[in-house]
Amino acid sequence: MLKKKNREIIVGSNNKGKIKEIRELLPKSYKILTPNDFNLRGPKENGKSFVENSLIKAKYYSIKSGKICIADDSGLEIDYLDKAPGIFSARWGGRNGNFNIAIKKVFRELNKKDKEWRNKKIVARFVCALTICGLKEKPIHSLGIVQGSISNKKKGRNGFGYDPIFIPKSRTLTFAQMKPSKKYKIDHRFMAFKKIKKFFWIDCFQHYKNLIDELLHFY
């Protein structure tokens, strides 16, 4: 009897928070792989935009692993800081990507700009660029954006990254104060994923069609 074949896809990130969120978004029929499964370190991210960096990661991990790869590049843009930290969001946390350090830097930079910033609405947004590579076709891209503002202090214990200081528009809680199941339905990564989910339905359909063809041939 033929064994059921799992679809395999590598998530192009070593960030446990990102991997967890993307795992929740992908169809359950996929076996999720990570760079650790192949002992891979990340590539040099020298793109000038979220899209460019997501493409760099998706191509790199797809070539190195021989698998289809979905990779994202995401970050926080704060208008008051000329859209910083932007594509350098993770790097604001230092070499180890410590977001407690990054958040302190956000507050420090805002304080330099305006001592009274805590009494004002600081407009910000989360941006996520998703790219799928390893297909016969050209890479697939999508962009998800969630508008919001910066909290005047850290709030909440859930999520990761800048979640404790980001309040999405029309909400009163930070991402870190929300239940993960609720956050996943409104965050930037989900918005980006919605635009490319058609790929996964088509891919799964083709996969199961191939399985049926194999079974018919077998019998």
Number of H helices, E strands in the chain: 5, 7
Distances (CA, A) of 46 to 22, 59, 208: 23, 14, 39
b/e sequence 74-86, b meaning 16+ C-beta within 10 Å = bbbbbebbeebbb
Q: Kindly compute the dihedral angle of the four CA atoms of residues 78, 79, 85, 88, in this order, to the nearest 10 degrees.
A: 120
CA geometry: angle 85, 141, 195, nearest 5 deg: 100
Is 72 a catalytic site residue? no
Check: CB of residue 14 under 8 Å from CB of residue 35.
yes
Amino acid at 63: I
Active-site annotation holder among 72, 73, 187, 203: 73
Reference 143, options 193, 197, 90; nearest CA is 193
Active site residues: 73
